[in-house]
Structure 1
Amino acid sequence: MTSTSTTSAVPPADTADILAVAREQVLDGGTGLSQEQVLAVLRLPDERLEELLALAHDVRMRWCGPEVEVEGIISLKTGGCPEDCHFCSQSGLFASPVRSAWIDIPSLVEAAKQTAKTGATEFCIVAAVRGPDKRLMSQVAAGIEAIRNEVDIQIACSLGMLSQEQVDELAAMGVHRYNHNLETARSHFPNVVTTHTWEERSDTLRMVREAGMEVCCGGILGMGETLEQRAEFAADLAELEPDEVPLNFLNPRPGTPFGDLEVLPAAEALKAVAAFRLALPRTILRFAGGREITLGDLGAEKGILGGINAVIVGNYLTTLGRPAEADLDLLDDLSMPIKALNDTL
């Protein structure tokens, strides 16, 4: 896993070119950039973007290899969430168009089948809740059993904050990976969510790790955070040492408190992708929601050649993604092999 510490042999970011420092520290030494160093990367002028992306790609290839992990996601329970995450149209507290709905088990199995047909090795069951109640846990258990009977795929879950008992239940079900995003830097979190704390999310992640499940934890960029807070978030994640970091970009949703925020400029988003790779050289770094509106079709290629080594294919929870075929064709064009299922076990 990564470390944010630097060695005394590496000059500090303010006395040497940050990309030269990163080449020695991260590419050659495998040690992730510190918070201060990530900030220096985020402050690079746009004319150095291509150089930055090339270095991030070299780091990804050196410490992760060429394979790309493909994942599909499905919403088991949509809308009606009691939390006030300001980016989310599934909150029952906002006048957004998403309504509460459940998906049945046959539809869940069919979604897993279609996901597996793309070559994906991971299928994530998601629910818009503060945390799962008994009904939801029962539905998840039934869904996992039904999927296992018909589909050869790893199963992940994202069900909000968990109790220790629920963590143990999911581990016993054979859940491979659990997603629970910290969303943003600790210092910015109160501006994004007020109905629970950053620490409550962190507690769930600690229990997940201790139970032996893989930890998937990322967030959303472009929610009004400063560059300093973006660097802080990268350092937060490096300290957590997650197995996977999904990087989302805010797609402003009508009716939410963040519905009028501007979309993150493409160059700024790509700098962040590369900076997070340099902070997390060995981590699965996944393109997730918002990349289409933020980066467009060209951004998919630039991201995959700029540090990304995993993608979510198809649609997201409440927004449309790129067609799965477009991402798979791109990976083929770039000679990036899809990670095989037996490589994820």
Structure 2
Amino acid sequence: MPEILEHARAQVLERGVGLDEAGVLAVLRLPDEHLPAALQLAHEVRMRWCGPEVEVEGIVSLKTGGCPEDCHFCSQSGLFTSPVRAVWLDIPALVEAARQTAATGATEFCVVAAVRGPDPRLMTQLREGVRAIRAEVDIQIAASLGMLTREQVDELVEIGVHRYNHNLETARSHFPKVVTTHSWEERWETLRMVRDSGMEVCCGGILGLGETIEQRAEFAAQLGELAPHEVPLNFLNPRPGTPLGDQPVVDAKDALRAIAAFRLALPRTILRYAGGREITLGDLGTRDGLLGGVNAVIVGNYLTTLGRPAGTDLALLSELSMPVKALSTAL
């Protein structure tokens, strides 16, 4: 077994301490013949420090398209020619989406908006939407509304949002090549306020944005410093009309190496399959990732791209004897 995996077995598996940036880089550089061993170790780490349960989540867009930011991977930016129109979802449709999500066995429902940050209209819509969902659906509610002020963080806590998603997207050193209308530091400040408020922090990113292997390791280490409750791991699904529309898809083995490396960097964190796994990994690779450190999935479609049918993922979890996490009895 390679030295880095021996080291990870002693440090991560036995003590629950994640790899540092150099250790993550060593895993990302492992040759193909050692990939199965890395995935196996990552799976053992996941089972030891997180347990066998898999958290299932559905997401819905409250406000789609027309975003003023220039995130180069995103078809919801109003600055690009991608064919996504600005649309608002009404409250009954939001409640129905939550009901359908709960029917899959999901415990988490995330309300997302394509904005720099929420304005008063959006906060009002979210408040009313959360109230309506809580009245009719037994599910935890998360939100992803961009960058927040202290007052908005406090309001989200008040209305009962249990987890907030705000992705750093990529390594700090690479971020200016992906987004120019706001900074990595601005995102970090929102995440710090969310963490300090007591809400759970959900923060991940997208692999395949043109970053180097070294920057992937840097990103994993920065997430380790933040210590989020959950890390959604996306793989770029290039969108027509965006600056990264012609970017090649991440190689499947590189994607699996990254899954193992991120698990070894974040042994106690929910590591969630998110966008792009369908085109990057396909059915077989999805299985490999679930046996290589992943312990959460988004079921159904994403914001502007198609996902796998919820039943397909749930059947795979059953086949792998991975129980779906039950809703907290405190709700």
User: Shorter-chain TM-score: what band?
Assistant: over 0.9
> 1:106 pairs with 78, 86, 92, which one?
92
Match of 1:269 in 2: 255
Summarize the alignment of residues 134-283 of structure 1 with structure 2, pairs less than 5 Å apart: 134-283=120-269
What is the CA–CA distance in structure 2 between the aligned matches of 1:163 and 1:34, rounded to whole Å? 31
Aligned AA (2:21): Q
Alpha-carbon contact 1:121-1:344 (below 8 Å) kept: no
Is there any run of 5+ residues in structure 2 with no aligned partner, and where?
none
Q: Deviations over 1:271-291 (max 9, x none)?
A: 000100000000000000000
**1: distance between equivalents of 2:174 and 2:263?**
21
User: How many correspondences in the alignment?
Assistant: 330
Give secondary structure in 2 for the equivalent of 1:285: strand
- How far apart are residue 210 of structure 1 and its match? 1.0
Give the secondary-structure state (helix, strand or coil) at the position aligned to 1:125.
strand
Matched, 1:294 2:272: no
1:340 aligned onto 2:305:
no
C-alpha separation between the residues in 1 aligned to 2:183 and 2:329?
36
Partner of 1:12: none
Deviation at 1:344, TM superposition (A): 8.4
| Alignment deviations for residues 160-205 of structure 1 (CA, whole Å, 9 cap, x no partner) | 0001111111110010000000000000000010000000000000
> TM-score normalized by structure 1?
0.95
Deviation, 1:258, is: 0.3
- Corresponding position of 2:298: 312
1:95 aligns to 2:81 (yes or no): yes
Pairwise CA distance, 1:300: 1.2
Match of 2:43 among 50, 57, 61: 57
Cα distance per residue 1:49-94 (max 9 Å; x no partner): 1111000000000000000000000000000000000000000000
Secondary structure in 2 aligned to 1:342? coil
The root-mean-square deviation of aligned C-alpha atoms, in Å, is 0.9
Matched, 1:67 2:70: no
Change (3 A) 1:183 1:343: farther
Q: Distance in 2 between matches of 1:224 and 1:94?
A: 19
- What is the CA–CA distance in structure 1 between the aligned matches of 2:71 and 2:200, rounded to whole Å? 24
Other-structure match for 1:121: 107
C-alpha contact 1:248 1:291 (8 A) present in aligned 2:
yes
Shift, 1:211, TM fit:
1.0
Percent of residue pairs identical: 77
Give distance in 1, aligned partners of 2:326 and 2:85: 36
Question: Which amino acid is the alignment partner of residue 244 of structure 1?
Answer: E
Q: TM-score, normalised by structure 2?
A: 0.99
Which 4+ runs in 1 deviate beyond 6 A? Answer: none
Structure 1: distance between partners of 2:319 and 2:110: 26
Maintained 8 Å contact 1:71/1:312: yes
2:9 aligns with 23
Equivalent residue for 1:5?
none
Equivalent residue letter for 2:13: L
Aligned letter for 2:84? V
Quick one: which amino acid aligns to residue 262 of structure 1? P
C-alpha deviations, 1:236-264, integer Å up to 9, x for none? 00000000000000000000000000000
Cα distance in structure 1, aligned partners of 2:118 and 2:36: 44
Looking at structure 2, the residues matched to 95 and 71 of structure 1 have their Cα atoms a distance apart, in angstroms, of 30
